Amino acid sequence: MSKKGESSQLLREFPDFTDTMHSLVAMERIPAGVVEECREAVAMARRFNRTVARSYALELDRRMQEDPTFLPWELVEEANRWGFFTMWIPKLFGGKGWSLSSISPFVEELASECLAITNLIGVHYFGYSILVATWNIRLIDMISREVVEGEREGRPCLVSGAVTEPEAGTDAEEVELLARARVRCHARRVEGGYVVNGRKIFISNGHLSTWHILIAYEDLERPDETMIAFAVKNGMPGFSFGRMEKKMGQKGCPASELVFEDCFIPDENLLVAASQLTGMKRGARELGMQLIDFVVSATRPGVGAMGAGVARGAFELALRFARETEVAGKPLINHEWAQCLLAEMYKNAALARLSYMEANYSNSMYGMAKLLSFKPLYYYNRLIPTSMFDRWMPAANSRQATTAVFRKLVMDGQSDAEARRASGWASLAKVAGTDLGVRNCQLALELMGQAGLRHDRRAEKCLRDAKLLQIYEGTNQLNRLNVFKCLVAPAAPEARAFED
Ligand SMILES: Cc1cc2nc3c(=O)[nH]c(=O)nc-3n(C[C@H](O)[C@H](O)[C@H](O)COP(=O)(O)OP(=O)(O)OC[C@H]3O[C@@H](n4cnc5c(N)ncnc54)[C@H](O)[C@@H]3O)c2cc1C
Protein backbone atom coordinates (compact mmCIF):
# COMPACT_ATOMS: atom_id res chain seq x y z
CA MET A 1 0.00 0.00 0.00
CA SER A 2 1.25 3.47 -0.82
CA LYS A 3 2.44 5.79 1.92
CA LYS A 4 -0.51 8.03 1.17
CA GLY A 5 -2.92 5.15 1.61
CA GLU A 6 -1.32 4.25 4.94
CA SER A 7 -1.71 7.68 6.43
CA SER A 8 -5.30 8.04 5.28
CA GLN A 9 -6.04 4.78 7.10
CA LEU A 10 -5.05 6.43 10.37
CA LEU A 11 -7.73 9.04 10.08
CA ARG A 12 -11.24 8.39 11.16
CA GLU A 13 -14.44 9.91 9.90
CA PHE A 14 -15.89 12.81 11.81
CA PRO A 15 -17.74 11.05 14.63
CA ASP A 16 -21.50 11.30 15.00
CA PHE A 17 -22.96 13.61 17.61
CA THR A 18 -23.22 10.99 20.36
CA ASP A 19 -19.47 10.64 20.23
CA THR A 20 -18.67 14.33 20.42
CA MET A 21 -21.37 15.71 22.71
CA HIS A 22 -20.15 14.59 26.09
CA SER A 23 -22.78 16.77 27.73
CA LEU A 24 -25.48 14.42 26.43
CA VAL A 25 -23.83 11.30 27.77
CA ALA A 26 -22.95 13.12 30.97
CA MET A 27 -26.61 13.76 31.73
CA GLU A 28 -26.93 10.08 32.53
CA ARG A 29 -23.55 9.46 34.05
CA ILE A 30 -22.68 12.60 35.95
CA PRO A 31 -24.51 13.66 39.11
CA ALA A 32 -26.99 16.48 38.59
CA GLY A 33 -25.55 18.23 41.65
CA VAL A 34 -22.59 19.33 39.53
CA VAL A 35 -24.76 21.89 37.72
CA GLU A 36 -25.93 23.35 41.03
CA GLU A 37 -22.30 23.64 42.17
CA CYS A 38 -21.39 25.44 38.94
CA ARG A 39 -24.16 27.95 39.63
CA GLU A 40 -22.96 28.58 43.17
CA ALA A 41 -19.34 28.96 42.02
CA VAL A 42 -20.37 31.51 39.37
CA ALA A 43 -22.42 33.49 41.90
CA MET A 44 -19.42 33.65 44.22
CA ALA A 45 -17.09 34.82 41.43
CA ARG A 46 -19.61 37.47 40.46
CA ARG A 47 -19.69 38.80 44.02
CA PHE A 48 -15.88 38.84 44.12
CA ASN A 49 -15.72 40.74 40.83
CA ARG A 50 -18.20 43.31 42.08
CA THR A 51 -16.61 43.89 45.45
CA VAL A 52 -12.89 43.31 44.80
CA ALA A 53 -11.68 42.78 41.24
CA ARG A 54 -13.55 45.57 39.45
CA SER A 55 -12.03 48.36 41.48
CA TYR A 56 -8.54 46.80 41.73
CA ALA A 57 -7.80 45.37 38.25
CA LEU A 58 -6.58 48.53 36.51
CA GLU A 59 -4.72 49.82 39.54
CA LEU A 60 -2.86 46.51 39.82
CA ASP A 61 -1.97 46.56 36.12
CA ARG A 62 -0.60 50.12 36.42
CA ARG A 63 1.29 49.33 39.57
CA MET A 64 3.02 46.30 38.04
CA GLN A 65 3.89 48.38 34.97
CA GLU A 66 5.66 50.90 37.22
CA ASP A 67 7.28 48.31 39.47
CA PRO A 68 7.45 44.78 37.98
CA THR A 69 8.88 43.45 41.24
CA PHE A 70 5.76 44.37 43.21
CA LEU A 71 4.05 41.36 44.79
CA PRO A 72 0.25 41.66 45.17
CA TRP A 73 0.02 40.13 48.66
CA GLU A 74 -3.11 42.13 49.49
CA LEU A 75 -4.96 40.42 46.69
CA VAL A 76 -3.68 36.97 47.65
CA GLU A 77 -4.83 37.58 51.22
CA GLU A 78 -8.23 38.75 50.02
CA ALA A 79 -8.68 35.65 47.82
CA ASN A 80 -7.56 33.54 50.77
CA ARG A 81 -10.25 35.17 52.94
CA TRP A 82 -12.84 34.30 50.29
CA GLY A 83 -11.73 30.67 50.58
CA PHE A 84 -10.73 30.31 46.92
CA PHE A 85 -7.54 28.32 47.52
CA THR A 86 -9.30 25.39 49.20
CA MET A 87 -12.55 25.21 47.22
CA TRP A 88 -11.26 22.54 44.84
CA ILE A 89 -9.24 20.58 47.36
CA PRO A 90 -11.09 17.30 48.00
CA LYS A 91 -12.66 16.84 51.43
CA LEU A 92 -10.52 13.74 51.75
CA PHE A 93 -7.62 16.15 52.26
CA GLY A 94 -9.41 18.75 54.37
CA GLY A 95 -10.65 21.05 51.58
CA LYS A 96 -14.15 22.12 50.60
CA GLY A 97 -14.39 19.45 47.91
CA TRP A 98 -16.17 21.27 45.07
CA SER A 99 -16.35 19.19 41.91
CA LEU A 100 -13.66 19.88 39.33
CA SER A 101 -16.27 20.78 36.71
CA SER A 102 -17.29 23.88 38.64
CA ILE A 103 -13.87 25.50 38.46
CA SER A 104 -14.19 26.44 34.78
CA PRO A 105 -17.43 28.44 35.00
CA PHE A 106 -15.94 30.11 38.11
CA VAL A 107 -12.82 30.98 36.15
CA GLU A 108 -14.86 32.23 33.19
CA GLU A 109 -16.74 34.58 35.47
CA LEU A 110 -13.58 35.95 37.09
CA ALA A 111 -11.92 36.31 33.67
CA SER A 112 -14.76 38.43 32.35
CA GLU A 113 -13.40 41.11 34.73
CA CYS A 114 -9.61 40.60 34.89
CA LEU A 115 -7.38 37.82 33.55
CA ALA A 116 -4.42 38.64 35.79
CA ILE A 117 -6.48 38.22 38.95
CA THR A 118 -8.05 35.08 37.48
CA ASN A 119 -4.68 33.51 36.82
CA LEU A 120 -3.38 34.49 40.23
CA ILE A 121 -6.24 32.50 41.78
CA GLY A 122 -6.62 29.76 39.17
CA VAL A 123 -2.99 28.79 38.65
CA HIS A 124 -2.79 27.60 42.26
CA TYR A 125 -4.86 24.68 40.97
CA PHE A 126 -2.36 24.05 38.15
CA GLY A 127 0.32 23.42 40.78
CA TYR A 128 -2.16 21.53 42.90
CA SER A 129 -3.19 19.35 39.93
CA ILE A 130 0.42 18.27 39.34
CA LEU A 131 0.62 17.37 43.02
CA VAL A 132 -2.58 15.32 42.76
CA ALA A 133 -1.56 13.64 39.50
CA THR A 134 1.40 12.03 41.29
CA TRP A 135 -1.18 10.28 43.51
CA ASN A 136 1.26 10.46 46.39
CA ILE A 137 -1.49 10.54 48.97
CA ARG A 138 0.74 11.26 51.97
CA LEU A 139 2.18 14.43 50.44
CA ILE A 140 -1.13 15.50 48.88
CA ASP A 141 -2.67 15.23 52.33
CA MET A 142 0.15 17.08 54.06
CA ILE A 143 0.30 20.00 51.61
CA SER A 144 -3.49 20.27 51.29
CA ARG A 145 -3.82 20.56 55.04
CA GLU A 146 -1.20 23.33 55.09
CA VAL A 147 -3.26 25.23 52.50
CA VAL A 148 -6.38 24.73 54.63
CA GLU A 149 -4.52 25.80 57.77
CA GLY A 150 -3.22 28.85 55.91
CA GLU A 151 -6.78 29.80 55.07
CA ARG A 152 -7.91 29.41 58.66
CA GLU A 153 -5.05 31.48 60.01
CA GLY A 154 -5.07 34.16 57.31
CA ARG A 155 -1.62 33.11 56.10
CA PRO A 156 -2.02 32.13 52.42
CA CYS A 157 -0.26 28.93 51.40
CA LEU A 158 -0.22 28.66 47.60
CA VAL A 159 1.12 25.93 45.34
CA SER A 160 2.97 26.60 42.07
CA GLY A 161 3.72 24.12 39.28
CA ALA A 162 7.24 24.21 37.81
CA VAL A 163 7.66 22.49 34.45
CA THR A 164 8.99 25.08 31.98
CA GLU A 165 12.74 25.62 31.59
CA PRO A 166 14.76 28.21 29.66
CA GLU A 167 15.18 25.82 26.72
CA ALA A 168 12.12 23.60 27.08
CA GLY A 169 8.56 24.92 27.13
CA THR A 170 6.16 23.06 24.89
CA ASP A 171 8.63 20.19 24.66
CA ALA A 172 8.37 19.49 28.37
CA GLU A 173 4.61 19.05 28.07
CA GLU A 174 4.32 16.65 25.13
CA VAL A 175 5.33 13.00 25.08
CA GLU A 176 6.71 12.91 21.55
CA LEU A 177 8.79 16.00 22.16
CA LEU A 178 10.15 15.28 25.61
CA ALA A 179 12.57 12.61 24.40
CA ARG A 180 14.41 15.28 22.39
CA ALA A 181 13.79 18.23 24.71
CA ARG A 182 16.70 20.29 25.97
CA VAL A 183 15.77 20.01 29.62
CA ARG A 184 18.46 20.88 32.16
CA CYS A 185 16.82 20.40 35.55
CA HIS A 186 18.69 17.40 36.87
CA ALA A 187 18.03 15.26 39.95
CA ARG A 188 20.97 13.19 41.19
CA ARG A 189 20.37 10.35 43.63
CA VAL A 190 22.35 10.68 46.87
CA GLU A 191 21.96 9.09 50.26
CA GLY A 192 18.63 10.03 51.80
CA GLY A 193 17.35 11.99 48.82
CA TYR A 194 18.30 13.87 45.65
CA VAL A 195 20.45 16.84 44.72
CA VAL A 196 18.75 19.05 42.15
CA ASN A 197 20.40 21.57 39.86
CA GLY A 198 18.68 23.68 37.22
CA ARG A 199 16.27 26.55 36.63
CA LYS A 200 12.57 26.87 35.95
CA ILE A 201 11.16 29.99 34.32
CA PHE A 202 7.78 31.66 33.83
CA ILE A 203 6.39 29.96 36.91
CA SER A 204 3.11 31.71 37.70
CA ASN A 205 2.80 32.80 41.33
CA GLY A 206 6.32 31.47 42.01
CA HIS A 207 7.24 34.30 44.38
CA LEU A 208 3.81 34.11 46.04
CA SER A 209 3.75 30.37 46.66
CA THR A 210 4.90 28.33 49.63
CA TRP A 211 5.09 24.99 47.87
CA HIS A 212 6.42 24.32 44.37
CA ILE A 213 5.70 21.10 42.54
CA LEU A 214 8.89 20.57 40.61
CA ILE A 215 9.38 18.37 37.56
CA ALA A 216 12.99 17.28 37.04
CA TYR A 217 14.81 14.45 35.26
CA GLU A 218 17.20 11.81 36.54
CA ASP A 219 18.92 11.41 33.17
CA LEU A 220 19.00 14.45 30.90
CA GLU A 221 19.71 12.20 27.90
CA ARG A 222 16.50 10.24 28.56
CA PRO A 223 14.10 12.78 30.10
CA ASP A 224 11.02 10.96 28.82
CA GLU A 225 11.93 7.84 30.80
CA THR A 226 13.31 9.49 33.93
CA MET A 227 10.82 12.15 34.91
CA ILE A 228 10.70 12.79 38.63
CA ALA A 229 8.47 15.09 40.71
CA PHE A 230 9.28 16.75 44.04
CA ALA A 231 7.47 18.93 46.53
CA VAL A 232 9.79 21.84 47.28
CA LYS A 233 9.09 24.24 50.11
CA ASN A 234 10.34 27.82 50.48
CA GLY A 235 13.48 27.98 52.55
CA MET A 236 14.96 24.64 51.48
CA PRO A 237 18.75 25.14 51.22
CA GLY A 238 19.80 25.51 47.57
CA PHE A 239 16.40 26.75 46.42
CA SER A 240 15.91 30.44 45.66
CA PHE A 241 13.85 32.82 43.54
CA GLY A 242 15.40 34.45 40.48
CA ARG A 243 13.98 37.26 38.37
CA MET A 244 10.33 38.12 37.80
CA GLU A 245 9.39 38.46 34.11
CA LYS A 246 8.37 41.85 32.78
CA LYS A 247 5.56 40.74 30.48
CA MET A 248 3.00 42.38 28.20
CA GLY A 249 -0.12 41.16 29.98
CA GLN A 250 -1.54 39.51 33.08
CA LYS A 251 0.91 41.69 34.92
CA GLY A 252 -0.79 41.19 38.27
CA CYS A 253 0.17 37.52 38.28
CA PRO A 254 3.96 37.25 38.69
CA ALA A 255 5.92 34.85 36.46
CA SER A 256 8.98 33.76 38.40
CA GLU A 257 12.27 32.08 37.92
CA LEU A 258 13.01 29.26 40.38
CA VAL A 259 16.67 28.45 40.91
CA PHE A 260 18.04 25.14 42.21
CA GLU A 261 21.73 25.08 43.10
CA ASP A 262 22.81 21.84 44.71
CA CYS A 263 19.40 21.77 46.34
CA PHE A 264 19.08 18.71 48.55
CA ILE A 265 15.55 17.31 48.50
CA PRO A 266 14.98 14.54 51.05
CA ASP A 267 13.23 11.30 50.11
CA GLU A 268 10.19 12.35 52.09
CA ASN A 269 9.60 15.14 49.54
CA LEU A 270 9.80 12.83 46.54
CA LEU A 271 6.35 12.75 44.98
CA VAL A 272 6.98 10.18 42.29
CA ALA A 273 9.80 8.85 40.13
CA ALA A 274 8.41 7.32 36.95
CA SER A 275 11.32 4.88 36.74
CA GLN A 276 10.62 3.54 40.24
CA LEU A 277 6.92 2.87 39.83
CA THR A 278 6.57 -0.87 39.83
CA GLY A 279 3.62 -3.18 39.29
CA MET A 280 1.87 -0.74 36.96
CA LYS A 281 0.29 -1.42 33.59
CA ARG A 282 2.41 1.21 31.85
CA GLY A 283 6.19 1.62 31.63
CA ALA A 284 8.19 4.60 32.94
CA ARG A 285 7.87 6.66 29.74
CA GLU A 286 4.10 6.28 29.52
CA LEU A 287 3.67 6.86 33.25
CA GLY A 288 5.59 10.12 33.10
CA MET A 289 3.45 11.37 30.30
CA GLN A 290 0.27 10.12 31.89
CA LEU A 291 1.16 12.38 34.81
CA ILE A 292 1.51 15.42 32.52
CA ASP A 293 -1.59 14.42 30.57
CA PHE A 294 -3.71 14.03 33.71
CA VAL A 295 -2.77 17.59 34.58
CA VAL A 296 -3.17 19.37 31.26
CA SER A 297 -6.37 17.46 30.44
CA ALA A 298 -7.83 18.95 33.60
CA THR A 299 -6.31 22.42 33.38
CA ARG A 300 -6.43 23.27 29.65
CA PRO A 301 -10.26 23.49 29.68
CA GLY A 302 -9.73 26.03 32.48
CA VAL A 303 -7.51 28.10 30.18
CA GLY A 304 -10.25 27.78 27.53
CA ALA A 305 -12.68 29.08 30.15
CA MET A 306 -10.41 32.06 30.74
CA GLY A 307 -10.61 32.69 26.97
CA ALA A 308 -14.40 32.45 27.16
CA GLY A 309 -14.35 34.93 30.06
CA VAL A 310 -12.27 37.52 28.28
CA ALA A 311 -14.37 36.99 25.12
CA ARG A 312 -17.41 37.89 27.22
CA GLY A 313 -15.68 40.76 28.98
CA ALA A 314 -14.65 42.28 25.62
CA PHE A 315 -18.19 41.79 24.29
CA GLU A 316 -19.66 43.56 27.30
CA LEU A 317 -17.25 46.50 26.93
CA ALA A 318 -18.11 46.80 23.22
CA LEU A 319 -21.84 46.57 23.87
CA ARG A 320 -21.69 49.30 26.49
CA PHE A 321 -19.65 51.50 24.16
CA ALA A 322 -22.09 50.94 21.27
CA ARG A 323 -25.00 51.93 23.50
CA GLU A 324 -23.36 55.07 24.84
CA THR A 325 -21.74 56.39 21.67
CA GLU A 326 -23.39 58.39 18.92
CA VAL A 327 -22.06 58.10 15.37
CA ALA A 328 -23.40 59.86 12.27
CA GLY A 329 -26.38 61.18 14.14
CA LYS A 330 -27.55 57.99 15.82
CA PRO A 331 -26.40 55.57 18.53
CA LEU A 332 -23.65 53.26 17.27
CA ILE A 333 -25.75 50.27 18.25
CA ASN A 334 -28.35 51.28 15.67
CA HIS A 335 -25.84 50.88 12.82
CA GLU A 336 -26.25 47.53 11.14
CA TRP A 337 -22.50 46.88 10.85
CA ALA A 338 -22.11 47.36 14.60
CA GLN A 339 -24.98 44.95 15.23
CA CYS A 340 -23.28 42.32 13.03
CA LEU A 341 -20.02 42.82 14.88
CA LEU A 342 -21.70 42.48 18.28
CA ALA A 343 -23.53 39.36 17.10
CA GLU A 344 -20.19 37.91 15.99
CA MET A 345 -18.70 38.65 19.42
CA TYR A 346 -21.70 37.11 21.20
CA LYS A 347 -21.30 33.99 19.04
CA ASN A 348 -17.58 33.77 19.85
CA ALA A 349 -18.18 33.98 23.60
CA ALA A 350 -20.92 31.34 23.41
CA LEU A 351 -18.78 28.93 21.35
CA ALA A 352 -15.83 29.36 23.69
CA ARG A 353 -18.07 28.45 26.62
CA LEU A 354 -19.54 25.42 24.86
CA SER A 355 -16.16 23.98 24.04
CA TYR A 356 -14.77 24.16 27.57
CA MET A 357 -18.02 22.71 28.94
CA GLU A 358 -17.69 19.73 26.58
CA ALA A 359 -14.06 19.30 27.59
CA ASN A 360 -15.03 19.36 31.26
CA TYR A 361 -17.66 16.70 30.74
CA SER A 362 -15.11 14.67 28.81
CA ASN A 363 -12.69 15.02 31.73
CA SER A 364 -15.36 13.98 34.21
CA MET A 365 -15.88 10.80 32.25
CA TYR A 366 -12.33 9.93 31.23
CA GLY A 367 -9.79 12.10 33.05
CA MET A 368 -8.61 13.18 36.48
CA ALA A 369 -12.13 13.98 37.67
CA LYS A 370 -13.46 10.53 36.74
CA LEU A 371 -13.22 8.98 40.19
CA LEU A 372 -15.04 11.75 42.00
CA SER A 373 -17.69 12.01 39.25
CA PHE A 374 -18.76 8.45 39.98
CA LYS A 375 -22.21 9.06 41.51
CA PRO A 376 -21.92 7.22 44.86
CA LEU A 377 -18.49 8.75 45.53
CA TYR A 378 -19.66 12.17 44.40
CA TYR A 379 -22.58 12.23 46.83
CA TYR A 380 -20.49 10.73 49.61
CA ASN A 381 -17.95 13.50 49.11
CA ARG A 382 -20.59 16.22 48.76
CA LEU A 383 -22.81 15.33 51.69
CA ILE A 384 -20.39 14.25 54.39
CA PRO A 385 -18.91 17.25 56.23
CA THR A 386 -15.17 17.84 56.05
CA SER A 387 -14.87 17.41 59.83
CA MET A 388 -15.98 13.77 59.49
CA PHE A 389 -13.30 13.11 56.90
CA ASP A 390 -10.78 14.85 59.14
CA ARG A 391 -11.36 12.26 61.83
CA TRP A 392 -10.10 9.24 59.98
CA MET A 393 -8.53 10.31 56.67
CA PRO A 394 -5.14 11.76 57.79
CA ALA A 395 -4.08 8.44 59.30
CA ALA A 396 -5.20 6.46 56.26
CA ASN A 397 -3.66 8.97 53.86
CA SER A 398 -0.22 8.67 55.41
CA ARG A 399 -0.01 4.95 54.58
CA GLN A 400 2.02 3.78 51.61
CA ALA A 401 -0.78 1.33 50.81
CA THR A 402 -3.27 4.16 50.22
CA THR A 403 -0.96 5.65 47.58
CA ALA A 404 -0.57 2.23 45.94
CA VAL A 405 -4.35 1.70 45.83
CA PHE A 406 -4.98 5.16 44.35
CA ARG A 407 -2.27 4.73 41.71
CA LYS A 408 -3.63 1.33 40.71
CA LEU A 409 -7.19 2.59 40.63
CA VAL A 410 -6.63 5.85 38.80
CA MET A 411 -3.54 5.41 36.66
CA ASP A 412 -4.09 1.81 35.62
CA GLY A 413 -7.84 2.45 35.54
CA GLN A 414 -7.50 4.92 32.67
CA SER A 415 -7.34 3.31 29.22
CA ASP A 416 -5.28 4.84 26.41
CA ALA A 417 -8.48 5.66 24.54
CA GLU A 418 -9.85 7.51 27.58
CA ALA A 419 -6.61 9.42 28.00
CA ARG A 420 -6.70 10.50 24.34
CA ARG A 421 -10.33 11.64 24.62
CA ALA A 422 -9.68 13.76 27.69
CA SER A 423 -6.44 15.15 26.28
CA GLY A 424 -7.82 15.90 22.80
CA TRP A 425 -10.88 17.70 24.13
CA ALA A 426 -8.79 19.67 26.59
CA SER A 427 -6.56 20.92 23.77
CA LEU A 428 -9.58 21.64 21.59
CA ALA A 429 -11.18 23.76 24.32
CA LYS A 430 -7.92 25.54 25.04
CA VAL A 431 -7.37 26.50 21.40
CA ALA A 432 -11.01 27.41 20.75
CA GLY A 433 -11.49 29.45 23.93
CA THR A 434 -8.23 31.38 23.76
CA ASP A 435 -8.39 32.13 20.02
CA LEU A 436 -11.96 33.35 20.37
CA GLY A 437 -10.98 35.39 23.42
CA VAL A 438 -8.22 37.17 21.51
CA ARG A 439 -10.51 37.62 18.51
CA ASN A 440 -13.17 39.33 20.62
CA CYS A 441 -10.62 41.69 22.15
CA GLN A 442 -9.54 42.69 18.64
CA LEU A 443 -13.15 43.21 17.58
CA ALA A 444 -13.83 45.34 20.67
CA LEU A 445 -10.89 47.56 19.75
CA GLU A 446 -12.16 47.78 16.18
CA LEU A 447 -15.54 48.96 17.37
CA MET A 448 -14.23 51.38 19.97
CA GLY A 449 -11.67 53.24 17.84
CA GLN A 450 -9.26 55.43 19.82
CA ALA A 451 -11.37 55.06 22.98
CA GLY A 452 -10.42 51.37 23.02
CA LEU A 453 -6.74 52.25 23.30
CA ARG A 454 -7.22 54.17 26.53
CA HIS A 455 -6.12 52.31 29.63
CA ASP A 456 -9.18 53.36 31.64
CA ARG A 457 -11.51 51.76 29.06
CA ARG A 458 -9.97 48.32 29.78
CA ALA A 459 -10.19 46.99 26.21
CA GLU A 460 -6.46 47.33 25.49
CA LYS A 461 -5.68 45.53 28.78
CA CYS A 462 -8.04 42.71 27.79
CA LEU A 463 -6.10 42.20 24.55
CA ARG A 464 -2.69 42.32 26.27
CA ASP A 465 -3.90 39.84 28.88
CA ALA A 466 -5.66 37.53 26.42
CA LYS A 467 -2.63 37.07 24.14
CA LEU A 468 -0.81 35.18 26.90
CA LEU A 469 -3.54 32.55 27.00
CA GLN A 470 -2.55 31.37 23.52
CA ILE A 471 0.94 30.62 24.80
CA TYR A 472 0.76 29.00 28.21
CA GLU A 473 -0.19 25.37 28.87
CA GLY A 474 1.41 24.55 25.51
CA THR A 475 1.22 26.97 22.59
CA ASN A 476 -1.97 26.82 20.53
CA GLN A 477 0.01 25.44 17.60
CA LEU A 478 1.11 22.47 19.65
CA ASN A 479 -2.36 22.04 21.12
CA ARG A 480 -3.71 21.85 17.57
CA LEU A 481 -1.27 19.04 16.86
CA ASN A 482 -2.53 17.31 20.00
CA VAL A 483 -6.09 17.58 18.68
CA PHE A 484 -4.86 15.88 15.52
CA LYS A 485 -3.10 13.16 17.46
CA CYS A 486 -5.92 12.48 19.92
CA LEU A 487 -9.10 13.13 17.96
CA VAL A 488 -8.36 13.17 14.22
CA ALA A 489 -5.98 10.22 14.05
CA PRO A 490 -6.45 8.41 17.37
CA ALA A 491 -5.96 5.01 15.75
CA ALA A 492 -2.25 5.73 15.66
CA PRO A 493 -1.27 6.57 19.25
CA GLU A 494 2.23 7.41 18.12
CA ALA A 495 0.51 9.63 15.50
CA ARG A 496 2.68 11.45 13.08
CA ALA A 497 1.61 14.77 14.57
CA PHE A 498 4.97 15.69 16.03
CA GLU A 499 7.26 14.18 13.44
CA ASP A 500 9.73 16.37 11.62
C1 LIG B 1 2.17 34.11 31.52
C2 LIG B 1 2.76 32.75 31.50
C3 LIG B 1 2.62 31.94 32.62
C4 LIG B 1 3.18 30.67 32.65
N5 LIG B 1 3.06 29.90 33.77
C6 LIG B 1 3.71 28.71 33.85
C7 LIG B 1 3.69 27.93 35.05
O8 LIG B 1 3.05 28.28 36.03
N9 LIG B 1 4.39 26.77 35.07
C10 LIG B 1 5.11 26.33 34.01
O11 LIG B 1 5.73 25.29 34.10
N12 LIG B 1 5.13 27.04 32.84
C13 LIG B 1 4.47 28.22 32.75
N14 LIG B 1 4.50 28.95 31.58
C15 LIG B 1 5.27 28.46 30.45
C16 LIG B 1 4.39 27.96 29.34
O17 LIG B 1 3.79 26.74 29.66
C18 LIG B 1 5.25 27.90 28.07
O19 LIG B 1 5.50 29.24 27.70
C20 LIG B 1 4.54 27.19 26.96
O21 LIG B 1 4.48 25.83 27.20
C22 LIG B 1 5.26 27.43 25.62
O23 LIG B 1 6.61 27.17 25.72
P24 LIG B 1 7.69 28.21 25.19
O25 LIG B 1 7.26 29.55 25.61
O26 LIG B 1 9.03 27.75 25.64
O27 LIG B 1 7.58 28.15 23.65
P28 LIG B 1 8.34 27.14 22.70
O29 LIG B 1 8.03 25.76 23.09
O30 LIG B 1 9.78 27.53 22.62
O31 LIG B 1 7.66 27.46 21.33
C32 LIG B 1 8.12 28.48 20.43
C33 LIG B 1 7.41 28.27 19.10
O34 LIG B 1 7.80 27.04 18.52
C35 LIG B 1 6.67 26.20 18.32
N36 LIG B 1 7.12 24.85 18.62
C37 LIG B 1 7.62 24.42 19.80
N38 LIG B 1 7.97 23.12 19.70
C39 LIG B 1 7.68 22.75 18.43
C40 LIG B 1 7.82 21.52 17.70
N41 LIG B 1 8.37 20.45 18.24
N42 LIG B 1 7.40 21.48 16.41
C43 LIG B 1 6.90 22.57 15.83
N44 LIG B 1 6.76 23.76 16.46
C45 LIG B 1 7.14 23.84 17.74
C46 LIG B 1 5.61 26.72 19.25
O47 LIG B 1 4.31 26.41 18.80
C48 LIG B 1 5.90 28.21 19.22
O49 LIG B 1 5.33 28.79 18.10
C50 LIG B 1 3.91 30.20 31.52
C51 LIG B 1 4.01 31.01 30.39
C52 LIG B 1 3.45 32.26 30.36
C53 LIG B 1 3.58 33.09 29.12
| Closest residue CA from atom 23 of ligand 1 | 169
Measured from the Cα of 205, ligand 1's closest atom is 8
Q: Report pLDDT for 45.
A: 98
pLDDT higher than 50, residue 434: yes
Answer whether 368's CB lies under 8 Å from 425's CB: no
Mean pLDDT of 207-215: 98
Q: Report pLDDT for 11.
A: 64
**Cα 355 to Cα 425: distance, rounded to the nearest angstrom:** 8
**Considering only the top CATH level, what class is 13-156+286-498?**
mainly alpha
pLDDT higher than 80, residue 9: no
CA of 472 to the centre of ligand 1 (A): 6
Q: Report pLDDT for 498.
A: 45
Measured from the Cα of 161, ligand 1's closest atom is 9
CA of 383 to the centre of ligand 1 (A): 40
Measured from the Cα of 255, ligand 1's closest atom is 3
**Cα 19 to Cα 292: distance, rounded to the nearest angstrom:** 25
User: Please, which pLDDT band fits residue 65 given cuts at 50, 70 and 90?
Assistant: very high
User: Please, which pLDDT band fits residue 12 given cuts at 50, 70 and 90?
Assistant: low
Ligand 1 pocket mutation pick from 64, 118, 130, 164 by most atoms within 8 angstroms of CB: 164
CA of 384 to the centre of ligand 1 (A): 41
| Closest residue CA from atom 27 of ligand 1 | 169
- Provide the residue ranges of all domains of the chain, joining segments of one domain with +: 13-156+286-498, 159-276
Whole-model pTM: value is 0.93
Q: Report pLDDT for 2.
A: 40
Q: Report pLDDT for 492.
A: 60
Q: Report pLDDT for 495.
A: 46
| Closest residue CA from atom 9 of ligand 1 | 203
Angle at 91 between CA 85 and CA 97, to 5 degrees: 55
* Segment of 222-226, 376-380, 445-449 carrying the highest mean pLDDT: 445-449
The ligand 1 site (C-beta within 6 Å) comprises 123, 126, 161-164, 169-171, 173, 177, 202-204, 250, 255, 468, 471-475, 477-478, 498
CA of 480 to the centre of ligand 1 (A): 14
**Cα 457 to Cα 455: distance, rounded to the nearest angstrom:** 5
- Assess if CATH 2.40.110.10 describes domain 159-276: yes
Ligand 1 pocket mutation pick from 478, 481, 498 by most atoms within 8 angstroms of CB: 478
Asked whether this chain's domains 13-156+286-498 and 159-276 adopt the same fold, the reply is: no
Mean pLDDT of 308-318: 98
End-to-end CA distance of the chain: give it in Å, rounded. 22
- Quick one: how many helices (H) and strands (E) in the chain? 20, 10
- pLDDT (tens digit per residue) in 82-118: 999 999 999 989 999 998 889 999 999 999 999 999 9
- pLDDT (tens digit per residue) in 121-169: 999 999 999 999 999 999 999 999 999 999 999 999 999 999 999 999 8
> SS3 sequence, 254-283?
CEEEEEEEEEEEEHHHEEEEHHHCCCCCCC
